[in-house]
Amino acid sequence: MRKYYSLIDKIYHLDNLRQAYRHVRSNNGAPGVDGETVKEFGDKLEERLQRMHRELAEGTYQPSPVR
């Protein structure tokens, strides 16, 4: 069992990021404000998740605006 010390530790764990992507994909998620589809995001999934993981861990992640 993993031991977490804060909520952000749970959020940026790679397994949780992968699970979140699978959940969005299974719900036929709509493109974001940047127009990128779930399929397009998935084309470079591991690269994107690694970058997101690193940015979240370092505190440098800047989310896009929401619609």
Q: Is residue 1 situated within a structural domain?
A: no
Q: Is residue 15 situated within a structural domain?
A: yes
Overall domain count for the chain: 1
Q: Is residue 49 situated within a structural domain?
A: yes
Give strand ranges (E) for 1-67.
Answer: none
Amino acid found at 5:
Y
Q: Is residue 64 situated within a structural domain?
A: no
Cα–Cα nearest to 61, from 38, 42, 21, 51: 51
Q: Quote the pTM value.
A: 0.79
Q: Is residue 2 situated within a structural domain?
A: no
Radius of gyration of the chain (CA): 13
Q: For 8-58, what is each residue's pLDDT tens digit?
A: 778 889 999 999 999 999 999 988 888 899 999 999 999 999 999 999 999
Q: Is residue 67 situated within a structural domain?
A: no
Q: Is residue 48 situated within a structural domain?
A: yes
Q: Is residue 18 situated within a structural domain?
A: yes
Structural domain boundaries, residue 46: 7-58
